[in-house]
Structure 1
Amino acid sequence: MLQILARGGGDAINEETFSEKLGTVPTPHGHEILVKVQATSINPLDTKLRMRTPSSEQIVLGYDTSGIVVDTGDEVTHYKKGDHIYFMGQAKYAGSFAQYQLADARTVAFAPKNCSEAETATFPVATFTAYDALFNRLEYISAANANTEKTILIIGGAGGVGSMAIQLAKWAGLTVIATASREETADWCRDMGADYVINHHNNMMEQIRELDMHWVNSIFCTTHLSDHWGTMSELIEPQGAIVLIDDPAGPLDLRLFKTKSVRICWEFALVRTMYDTPDLQMQGFILAKIAQLIDSFQIRSPLTETLYGLTAKNIQKAHLRQESNTMVGKQAIIISP
């Protein structure tokens, strides 16, 4: 099978960073399934892992998969050959920038029926992250219009996670304030359903006040955490909650939030598979719930760009676009027609 390797620490602009390799198709055991990858997507996680990997190593990246089950381990009962599924990858398996990929059957779900392969591939990581952050970390109720009179500020609303967080928060009844700094990204946030859009490059406190709000009930920071740390301490209400996914540039002063008794938590989509937590199957359960929301037209794909073909050149293009800081929505890569 064909795989695309990424050299650890390699710059995306360098064509030697990505290379094509023929490997052996793996055999599933136990809870594992073997999937023929139909489409994949790229996330900030891919570019970060590439840069953090030692320069002496090469890895197969890719954490979003839409594909077809071609074989199963002897402990798999819920899926069979020919099933169309989608899932997030995990660290112990090679990624989806390949023709075939192993997955743990407990972490996958049947793919939504009302989407193209490219659209389906944009959902797993971004939508799971947004769902887990909103309904498990921030503890909002996961039901339509169940959280009215609550406000959330989503910093970085035009990215993949931000796009899905806006939609899920609106479905759940929250008033959504998203941030964007360009006309294009502001329009995108409104199209995703944001009630208000403010510019994170300007004084956010003043802009919130202009909306006749004093504080927000919660904040979901998806990007440039260090830049917004102090502002978040001013904007969050007493006893409010903040969820973070972006890596800080350096140490942060937690004391800023002490007098408000603010609850601060992290969301990392791969935590359950990385540590084999007792709620591992929650990963598959949440993806199944997301598929239901997609098929009932409550949320839609943030797909904005599609590349065709599993080639080193396409993977390089996707990494360069992801690192450009101008990405709106998400990119998909069609692996198998």
Structure 2
Amino acid sequence: MKAFLIDRYAKGGALRLGESPAPDLRDNDVLVEVHAASVNLLDAKIRDGEFKLILPYRLPLILGNDVAGVVVRVGSKVRHFKPGDEVYARPGQDRIGAFAEFIAMNEADVAMKPKNLTMEEAASLPLVALTAWQVLVERGGLKKGQKVLIHAGSGGVGTIAIQLAKYIGAHVATTTSTANVDLVKNLGADVVVDYKKDDFEKVLKGYDVVLNSLGKDTLEKSLRVLKPGGKLISISGPPDPEFARENGSGWLLQQVMRLLSSGIRRKSRRHGVGYSFLFMTANGEQLGQIASLIEAGALRPVVDRVFPFENVNEALVYVETGRAKGKVVIAVK
């Protein structure tokens, strides 16, 4: 099958289009013919080698962390899917490979594609929707009437997180640039801070949850908008010891992460708030719940551009500019 691979970690390196063996089908797997995939900054970071300590992939590696397609075969123990089913998924982190004609995934990571979406729209969602769900619903415990700040509201995670928070019934603030103010307002943001004009830490106060996807300065400023007992949840780091334990990291790597996050954890305690790092995990059951919200009209995908399969490298470069509104998608079939 055709696939886009990396043979070695290289910052800014191009992916190689080549032939790769069709994936093996395990007893609990579904084999999916890929119709669409989406491009995430995570793909660039894996290519650059930023995660090689915590995600020790075997090279050569097919990239791609989001997929929508059609089931063509199922393993002997699969009970919830059959050939012909239209599905979408974020593969388990050790089974990525959506930039290819076929992918095999554990059925526990897969859900039926929302009926009202195209393949391209569906492929835009799994990673960012699961991230928003796991930050706001699971880790943040966001409730109706609470206040949440979602940074980078026009990005892939932000566009879904705003909608999910509004569905929950929260008061939603977000940061974005001047060009994207109308977009995030239309998604449901109650307060929009244009970072080119205002400093969010001077405008916002008394928030229950902050979803951070930006750098160190934004992370530390976010402490000052939280109320005592609030939660600062970062998907951009630094990783903390709890994440290291959950990820099965060894003692040495746990100590490295303890050191990397010591500053923000110390400042969080000083402000009387909690800090945690979240690395989204695959979850087909949650994707099923998200699909129900999409079919009910509570959530909608935001797709910036669709690239043809042969232009995966151009799509990755575009994502790295940080200018995409919502998601960038690859049409594979």
State the TM-score, normalized to the length of structure 1.
0.86
Q: Which amino acid aligns with 1:284?
A: G
Superposed, 1:18-167 pairs within 5 Å as 18-52=15-49, 57-141=59-143, 147-148=144-145, 150-167=146-163
In the other structure, the counterpart of 2:164 is 168
In the other structure, the counterpart of 2:179 is 184
Structure 1 residues without counterparts, runs of 5 or longer: 142-146, 209-213, 274-282
In the other structure, the counterpart of 2:206 is 215
Q: In 2, Cα distance between the equivalents of 1:320 and 1:173?
A: 36
Offset of 1:5 from its aligned partner? Answer: 1.1
Per-residue CA deviation, residues 37-71 of structure 1 (Å, 9 max, x unaligned), is 010001111111000177x9432100100011111
Q: 2:221 aligns with which of 231, 239, 246?
A: 231
In the other structure, the counterpart of 1:265 is 276
Offset of 1:98 from its aligned partner? Answer: 0.1
Equivalent pair of 1:87/1:107 in contact (CA under 8 Å): yes
Q: Which amino acid aligns with 1:263?
A: G
> RMSD value over aligned CA atoms?
2.0
Q: In 2, Cα distance between the equivalents of 1:245 and 1:57?
A: 25
Offset of 1:7 from its aligned partner? Answer: 4.2
Matched, 1:333 2:330: yes
Equivalent pair of 2:224/2:271 in contact (CA under 8 Å): no
Equivalent pair of 2:264/2:275 in contact (CA under 8 Å): no
Equivalent pair of 2:211/2:234 in contact (CA under 8 Å): yes
Q: Which amino acid aligns with 2:280?
A: A
Provide the identity percentage.
27
Q: Which amino acid aligns with 1:221?
A: N
In the other structure, the counterpart of 1:300 is 300
Equivalent pair of 2:142/2:170 in contact (CA under 8 Å): no
Q: 1:247 aligns with which of 237, 252, 258?
A: 237
3-state SS in 2 of match to 1:253: helix
Q: In 1, Cα distance between the equivalents of 2:264 and 2:162?
A: 28
Q: Which amino acid aligns with 1:8?
A: R
Q: 2:194 aligns with which of 171, 185, 199?
A: 199
State the TM-score, normalized to the length of structure 2.
0.87
Q: In 2, Cα distance between the equivalents of 1:170 and 1:7?
A: 43
Offset of 1:10 from its aligned partner? Answer: 3.0
Aligned residues: 306
3-state SS in 2 of match to 1:333: strand
Residue 261 to residue 94, structure 1, CA distance change in 2 (3 Å): closer
Equivalent pair of 2:65/2:96 in contact (CA under 8 Å): no
Residue 200 to residue 256, structure 1, CA distance change in 2 (3 Å): farther
Q: In 1, Cα distance between the equivalents of 2:187 and 2:214?
A: 18
Q: In 2, Cα distance between the equivalents of 1:80 and 1:230?
A: 48
